[in-house]
Structure 1
Amino acid sequence: MKLEHDIRLAEPADAGEILTVQRAAYVSEAQLYGNPGFSALTESLDEVRAAVEGGGVLVATMGTRIVGAVRGVRDGQDCEVTRLVVAPDMQRRGIARALIEAVERAHAAQVRRFWLHTGDRSEANLRLYEKAGYSRYRTRPVSPELSLVYLEKLA
């Protein structure tokens, strides 16, 4: 069942709820890799608030609840799509795909390429990104338990 959601630019008052969704969403990744130290899980409220105040954070809402978020971080002609999160109880409803499309629309006029990365064992993430038009271009070993897969898409 697909429920309606809206996507908007995050406001500083959203930082706490964004952090809650982010931590909830990354628990499964931490379990998959046996690593509770992912930066998404250790990021502070002040760091999330600073990202929001920087203007690059979008949130998906259902009513008054934030159910997802994504950041677009521009660097010259490139935009990193990062911290894509959806509340665990709201996953598999098209919210992540809608957030990817929204961040691409928000930055398409200013960049030539979007890129992101995920863990090599994060099969659902890899499927999502590839269905959204991203192609793998690099794999970087981080530890014996983790390699990062980098994907890109031209604007």
Structure 2
Amino acid sequence: MSEANPVGAGARPAPGSGAVGEPRVAIERAVPEDAGEILTVQRAAYVTEAQLYGDPFIPPLVESAEQLQKVLAGDAVVLKAVLDGRLVGAVRAQFSDHTCLVGRLVVVPDLHGRGIGGRLLAALEDEVTGRADACVLFTGHLSETNLRLYRRLGYAETHRERVAAHLTLVHMRKPLVPAGKAGG
């Protein structure tokens, strides 16, 4: 495991700060050496999506370790969630002008529903606020759990895009408010 690289220290209470039933999760910057573990989590997380849409060749399942290492070595922001030394989730972002393009939010299947995905996304938003004015993302129209999470975190649907007979992408956006400017 790579050396800890904490993100957003002091910006909000530490993820997994001890609430009953809440796993103690550290959110850290990922490094190229994390590619293998992230890819393993990504593949495990996206199997259900592939089954839902009847497509075993969705991009997250066919991405190679070399491709992911290039992302990690580039200018993307990639965060990982670590629980007791185990990489249990990740999220990545790239930028287009002042917009954060969120992708590949993944959590290991055995820890779904424990708040890790929400914490990863919140940490990413903290990390990119100031560099980006908004975050955008997309998910499939049948991915109700994902859609509920994104709506709960303040993302609003902007449009839908039919990309195949079996798949319509739901595009969502959330404006980012720099610290100190919230509420007025």
Class of the TM-score when normalised by the shorter of the 2 chains: over 0.9
Please state whether the residue corresponding to 1:138 is helix, strand or coil.
strand
Q: Aligned Cα RMSD in Å?
A: 0.7
The separation in 2 between residues aligned to 1:58 and 1:50, in whole angstroms, is: 15
The separation in 2 between residues aligned to 1:29 and 1:94, in whole angstroms, is: 19
Structure whose alpha-carbon radius of gyration is higher: 2
**Greater shift after overlay, 2-11 or 21-30?**
2-11
Match of 1:43 in 2: 63
How many positions carry a matched residue from both structures?
155
Match of 1:52 in 2: 72
- CA displacement at 1:140 relative to structure 2: 0.3
The separation in 2 between residues aligned to 1:92 and 1:50, in whole angstroms, is: 30
Unmatched 5+ stretches in structure 2: 1-20, 177-184
Greater RCO (CA < 8 Å, at least 6 residues apart):
1
Please state whether the residue corresponding to 2:121 is helix, strand or coil.
helix
TM-score, normalised via structure 2 length: 0.83
Q: Segments of 4+ in structure 1 off by > 2 A?
A: none
The separation in 2 between residues aligned to 1:73 and 1:19, in whole angstroms, is: 18
Match of 2:133 in 1: 112
Unmatched 5+ stretches in structure 1: none
Please state whether the residue corresponding to 2:162 is helix, strand or coil.
strand
Match of 2:119 in 1: 98
Q: 1:85 aligns with which of 101, 106, 116?
A: 106
- CA displacement at 1:52 relative to structure 2: 1.2
TM-score, normalised via structure 1 length: 0.98
Structure having the larger proportion of residues in strand: 1
